[in-house]
């Protein structure tokens, strides 16, 4: 039976089951007999859904819709740029994020439903316009959370009000930016829906490999759509369907002035500014969920399907002459998922939460490569290329179950303890039983202390496993060392977290959090080869630690926030994917800890927003980083120079029509026009230099209706 059919059977059973009243409640209780309004029912079901997800012992940072709209680009802000405003989040090239020293490893949830990750690429799958609020959970997570555990990006979608409404708008500006968008939402009877779509094109789709204002060959076209349709079966049951579609196309930017290393037939020179590499990324997902209450038990059962693909198209002649290989790379992954979460109160002091998750993935990859013949030293022996096809298929199964209890001890203590079991089947079978413990102490009305311990089991990202047939490329300019394990291992770690939050008066909130993680089989990712794709490998051991400071201020029209984080991430002894590395680097890393390439010692973000009146607002935000790693005397032994990026905005609402307000927002990105590098092309698993954005002016217009 497929996951979708199984979920439907469960849904029918749950919706048909009677809702048993408490024995002490009179059968004629007015609350039971009253038909609630649609708004009341929706709010009660939302409350039931929220009860499924505890956060005891973990660290959390919440950004609501108002916070997102106060960012310089407002609703046009890419989701990764929204998350960058949270503490401990480090930006990297190609839109990647690192939280608390982890490489990617983020889990995305929408309305409590885990959305399987897409194949790593340049574009964003989800859009900020769908968000009512987004919560970033880090640290020692409860047993409900597994798989990707660096951080949980927990999104709650916007809830439609009665009637039909929406917005249409456009954002435009420098670098050929054009971003029209439309949103439609409404509620009628037992039905409600939220739909949003947008198109984006500009000439800075990927970070510029040079410091110039205008990148060469860097155009992008991106289409995104998201929908959430719900039907109230009764006062205690809701059926919903979420779906998303993304189709992104990118030109790969060129670095002019490079010197060819190989000859092609009778061609000896090639202008690197004329290279024509391209990449296309597609993602589609759909999730059917039944959610509600059965007696005192809240539940949500979801069946989902996600397909993603990535196609890298090389410049055959140019790539051959500069790299000795032109790889036409295709990756595709289809995941079918089933998720069930339940929450049952036990008396006044206990809440039992339990559930399961399963996924079945089919991943395929192919590398249709052109290479030159070469001698044992790698020297080209012919200018006539050879064609080699290397392909693989993977079937991966993931199973997880969890059980936990949230125990309220008096008025001040809350303890959440539980256990999670994970099993991952692909080339090998790996599993782990993981205890979790979190506690919160409400010392005073203004002081909250939390602490937690979590044992984590992180399987490798199936969509990024691409075994290489080393023998096929022997005797070519793409020859690889015949050594090492070609499939990554599941990571296992122990995570400790402690923090305090202090309210100062009615306006200030200050938080301090520290964490420490001990890791075996530490997972990392690198860009190996000429295609801009990431592949997973493992260090035998890892050590990660850090601290975060957050300050928030709210005083009517004025709001401000400040985040500062310290992190240190090191790894030792590469035990998988060794053929991707220089033998001298491997030998050094075998006996010595090195900084991970995404380790950034200091990171800070902050912002301020002031509303002059109900319809006029000014704002500013910034990003600061001490710099990612680059090679020095040892691998990853040096640091890229630090950077500071300041963004400004001015927004005003106009009453130009009778159908709704007209919103205008002017944004100045990198107002100081500081030139800074994110990567310089050196370091473990780093393939090319990338620079941050230059100064840009953008105007957004939105019309409500």
The tens digit of pLDDT for each residue in 119-178 reads 666 778 888 999 999 999 999 999 999 999 999 999 999 888 888 999 999 999 999 999
* pLDDT over threshold 90, residue 473: no
Write the CATH number for 683.
Answer: 2.40.170.20
Residue 616 resides in a domain: yes
Q: How much is the pLDDT for 51?
A: 72
Say what the pLDDT of residue 529 is: 61
Residue 483 pLDDT level (bands cut at 50, 70, 90): low
- Name which residue leads in pLDDT, 545 or 66: 545
Q: Are 490 and 457 in contact (CB under 8 A)?
A: yes
| Domain assignment of residue 37, yes or no | no
pLDDT in tens, 528-558: 665 566 778 899 999 999 999 999 999 988 9
Domain span including residue 679? 3-20+45-704
Range with lowest mean pLDDT among 467-471, 518-522, 667-671 = 467-471
Residue 26 predicted with pLDDT over 60: no
How far apart (Å, rounded) are the C-alpha atoms in residues 477 and 159? Answer: 56
List the structure tokens of 633: 């005397």
Least confident range from 56-65, 130-139, 233-242: namely 56-65
3 state DSSP class of 45: helix
pLDDT (0 to 100) of residue 467? 67
pLDDT at 409 > cutoff 50 = yes
Mean pLDDT throughout 401-423?
Answer: 95
Measuring CA to CA, how many Å separate 487 from each of 376, 398, 660?
Answer: 26, 17, 56
How far is it, in rounded angstroms, from Cα 248 to Cα 250?
7
Q: For residue 57, name the pLDDT band (cuts at 50, 70, 90).
A: low
**How confident is residue 570, by pLDDT bands cut at 50, 70 and 90?**
very high
Reported as type and span, the H/E element at residue 366 is: strand 350-371
pLDDT reading at 296 higher than 80: yes
pTM: 0.87
Please report whether residue 284 resides in a domain. yes
* CA pair distance 158, 183, nearest whole angstrom: 11
Please report whether residue 496 resides in a domain. Answer: yes
Residues contacting residue 561 through CB under 8 Å, at least 6 positions apart? 85, 550, 551, 552, 553, 606, 607, 608
Residue 29 lies in a domain: no
**pLDDT confidence tier of residue 2, bands split at 50, 70 and 90:** very low
Name the region of 462 (left: φ>0; alpha: ψ -120 to 50; beta: rest).
alpha
pLDDT at 17 over 60: no
Q: List the single range of 191-205, 458-472, 608-622 with lowest mean pLDDT.
A: 458-472
pLDDT for 272 equals: 94
Is residue 31 in a domain?
no
User: What is the tally of structural domains in the chain?
Assistant: 1
For 419, the enclosing helix (H) or strand (E) is strand 413-425
pLDDT of residue 93: 85
Q: Quick check: helix, strand or coil at residue 129?
A: helix
Query: H-helix or E-strand containing 81?
Result: helix 79-83
The mean predicted confidence, pLDDT, of the chain is 88
Note whether residue 28 is domain-resident: no
| Residues above pLDDT 90, as percent of the chain | 70
């Amino acid at each position: 039976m497929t996951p979708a059919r199984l979920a439907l059977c469960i849904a029918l059973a749950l919706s048909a089951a009677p809702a048993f009243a408490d024995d002490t409640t009179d059968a004629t209780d007015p609350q039971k007999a009253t038909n609630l309004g649609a708004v009341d029912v929706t709010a009660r079901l939302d409350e039931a859904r929220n009860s499924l997800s505890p956060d005891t012992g973990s660290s959390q940072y919440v950004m609501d819709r108002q916070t997102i709209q106060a960012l310089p680009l407002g609703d046009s802000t890419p989701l990764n740029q929204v998350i960058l405003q949270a503490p401990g989040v480090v930006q990297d090239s190609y839109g990647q994020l690192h939280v608390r020293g982890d490489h990617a490893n983020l889990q995305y949830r929408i309305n409590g439903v885990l959305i399987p990750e897409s194949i790593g690429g340049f574009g964003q799958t989800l859009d900020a316009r769908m968000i009512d609020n987004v919560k970033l959970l880090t640290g020692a997570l409860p047993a409900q959370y597994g798989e990707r555990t660096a951080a949980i990006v927990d999104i709650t979608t916007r809830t439609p009000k009665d009637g039909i409404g929406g917005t249409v708008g456009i954002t435009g500006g420098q670098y050929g930016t054009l971003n029209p968008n439309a949103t439609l939402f409404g509620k009628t009877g037992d039905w409600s829906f939220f739909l949003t779509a947008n198109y984006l094109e500009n000439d800075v789709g990927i970070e510029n490999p040079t410091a110039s204002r205008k990148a060469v060959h860097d155009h992008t076209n991106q289409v995104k759509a998201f929908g959430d349709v719900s039907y109230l079966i009764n006062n205690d049951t809701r059926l919903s369907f979420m779906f998303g579609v993304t189709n992104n196309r990118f030109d790969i930017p060129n670095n002019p002035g490079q010197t060819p290393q190989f000859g092609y037939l009778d061609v000896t020179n090639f202008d690197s500014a004329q290279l024509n590499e391209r990449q296309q990324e597609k993602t589609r997902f759909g999730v059917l969920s039944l959610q509600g209450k059965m007696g005192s038990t809240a539940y949500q059962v979801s069946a989902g399907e996600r397909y993603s693909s990535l196609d890298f198209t090389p410049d055959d002649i140019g790539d051959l002459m500069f790299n000795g290989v032109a790889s036409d790379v295709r990756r595709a992954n289809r995941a079918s998922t089933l998720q069930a979460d339940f929450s049952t109160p036990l008396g006044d002091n206990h809440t039992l939460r339990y559930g399961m998750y399963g996924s079945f993935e089919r991943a395929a990859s192919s590398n249709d490569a052109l290479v030159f013949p070469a001698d044992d030293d790698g020297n080209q022996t012919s200018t006539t290329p050879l064609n080699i096809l290397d392909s693989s298929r993977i079937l991966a199964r993931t199973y997880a179950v969890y059980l936990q209890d949230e125990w309220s001890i008096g008025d001040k203590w809350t303890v959440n303890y539980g256990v999670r079991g994970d099993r991952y089947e692909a080339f090998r079978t790996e599993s782990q039983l993981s205890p979790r413990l979190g506690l919160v102490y409400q010392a005073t009305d203004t002081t909250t202390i939390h602490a937690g311990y979590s044992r984590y089991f992180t399987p490798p990202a199936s969509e990024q496993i691409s075994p290489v047939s080393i023998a096929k490329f022997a005797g070519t300019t793409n020859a690889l060392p015949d050594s090492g394990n070609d499939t990554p291992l599941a990571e296992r770690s122990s995570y400790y977290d402690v923090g305090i939050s202090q309210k100062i008066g009615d306006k200030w909130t200050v938080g301090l959090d520290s964490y420490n993680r001990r890791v075996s089989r530490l997972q990392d990712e690198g860009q190996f080869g000429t295609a801009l794709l990431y592949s997973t490998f493992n260090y035998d051991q890892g050590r990660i630690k850090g601290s975060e400071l957050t300050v928030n201020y709210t005083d009517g029209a004025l709001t401000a926030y400040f985040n500062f984080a310290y992190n240190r991430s090191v790894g030792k002894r590469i035990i998988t994917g060794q053929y991707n590395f220089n033998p001298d680097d491997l030998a050094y890393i075998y006996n010595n800890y090195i900084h991970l390439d995404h380790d950034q010692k200091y990171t800070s973000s902050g912002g301020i927003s002031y509303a002059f009146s109900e319809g006029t607002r000014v704002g500013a935000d910034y990003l600061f980083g001490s710099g990612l790693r680059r090679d020095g005397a040892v691998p990853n032994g040096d640091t890229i120079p630090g950077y500071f990026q300041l963004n400004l905005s001015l927004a005003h609402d106009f009453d130009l029509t009778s159908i709704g307000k007209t919103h205008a927002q002017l944004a100045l990105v990198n107002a100081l026009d500081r030139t800074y590098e994110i990567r310089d092309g050196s370091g473990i698993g780093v393939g090319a230099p990338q620079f941050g954005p230059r100064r840009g002016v953008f105007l957004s217009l939105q019309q409500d209706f």
